Amino acid sequence: MVKIHLEHVTKLFGKVVAVDDVTLTINEKEFMVLLGPSGCGKTTTLRIIAGLEEPTEGEVYIDDEPVTYLPPKDRDIAMVFQNYALYPHMKVYDNIAFPLRLRKYPKEEIDKMVKEVAEMLRIEELLDRMPKQLSGGEQQRVALARALIRRPKAFLLDEPLSNLDAKLRVMMRAELKRLQKELGVTTVYVTHDQAEAMTMADRIAIMKDGKIQQVGSPADVFNKPVNLFVAGFIGSPPMNFIECTATEKGDQFLLDAGEFQLDVTCFKDIIKKNATSSELVLGIRPDNVMVDRERKEGLVAKATVYVIEPLGSETIIDLAIGDNIIKARTLEVVDLKMGDEVWVGFDMERLHIFDKKTEKAII
């Protein structure tokens, strides 16, 4: 079993805090994605696991063994870099064989294993070429092959798809996931692309400013974001946020957004218990915004159609409610035009409410 565990890991570069007290366990055979905007410390975290950086504080364990001060070569992990880091002075074959040669494998065995892994990644024809002669996608496969060949304890990938074009990226996403499941290698994958994270991960750790914000399955982080940052980062188009104030009117408990009021009496107790003030943020995903020309049951706000973005199978409608622009997504055929007046409602089951001050999720 291969399990990676980070215990209160902190990394300082001079006075800059790159990783701030991160504690994280990556389970056996798990595909863990570290997700966050650039500069959030995800790559540094990965490099600490690899042994390329020493943490300022905290410990790293692989299989319950403390490895914090072990050089990378003794950790038996493999890593794929964003720019692939192929050895430019070696042929593809030698690139792939390099880790085995360092471990003094017999020549025939190396040859056999190189052929095997090349076949698995469909790069048999490229073995005689130099890295410079390869396309981005091919280089990427070679980098993967070099990492896979020695059956490492764990697999670390640092934005491996970000240098590929969009089409190839989507293709490689599926392929990487299949490979990981077939080989059953514990994997840590760093990316800033939430779509990549959602499609590939078993679990996602979302980071910001060196801190882990939330760890959970893709469904978890999508449906139950713990704070405004996670809610806004996951999902495309992103969640709509509307600032509002909680008010009580008789028995009713309302969220007042100025342009409209939303009855949330059903959440009254939770909000009262958890909110630090009456300043709240309403969050709703575009999928859960309902739009109609007529005022129907559950539609609460009047809006103007701002822009229509047809995407073929679906349509994004930008709606102006007062000064707020919110997006709605629908799979139905839309016969609206710019400037049309419509009524908008929210799916109460999928409603999120955040505390404006602490940014934490209340519902």
DSSP secondary structure, 210-247, as one string: TEEEEEE-HHHHHHS-SBHHHHHHSSSSPPEEEEEEEE
Using CB under 8 A as the binding rule, whether residue 263 contacts another protein is answered as no
Shortest distance, position 215 Cβ to another protein, whole Å:
19
Number of residues near another protein (by CB under 8 A): 33
* CA end-to-end span of the chain: 37
DSSP secondary structure, 333-344, as one string: -----TT-EEEE
Among 99, 160, 283, 345, binds another protein (CB under 8 A): 99
Query: What is the per-residue binding string for another protein in 131-160, x denoting contact by CB under 8 A?
Result: ---------------x---------x----
Shortest distance, position 92 Cβ to another protein, whole Å:
14
Using CB under 8 A as the binding rule, whether residue 103 contacts another protein is answered as yes
What's the Cα-to-Cα distance from 118 to each of 85, 134, 169, rounded to whole Å?
Answer: 18, 15, 20
Sign of CA dihedral 57, 58, 61, 66: positive
Using CB under 8 A as the binding rule, whether residue 83 contacts another protein is answered as yes
Neighbours of 248 (CB within 10 A): 12
Shortest distance, position 101 Cβ to another protein, whole Å:
9
Among 8, 23, 28, 71, binds another protein (CB under 8 A): 71
Among 38, 88, 132, 219, binds another protein (CB under 8 A): 88
Q: How far apart are CA 108 and CA 229, in angstroms?
A: 53
Among 86, 200, 321, 328, binds another protein (CB under 8 A): 86
Nearer to another protein among residue 98 and residue 306 (C-beta): 98
Q: How far apart are CA 297 and CA 294, in angstroms?
A: 10
Tokens encoding 348: 């109460």
Using CB under 8 A as the binding rule, whether residue 18 contacts another protein is answered as no
For 222, residues 6+ apart whose C-beta sits below 8 A from its C-beta are: 198, 234, 235
- What residues line the site for another protein (CB under 8 A)? 5, 7, 50-52, 59, 61, 64, 66-69, 71-73, 75, 77-79, 81-83, 85-89, 98-99, 102-103, 146, 156
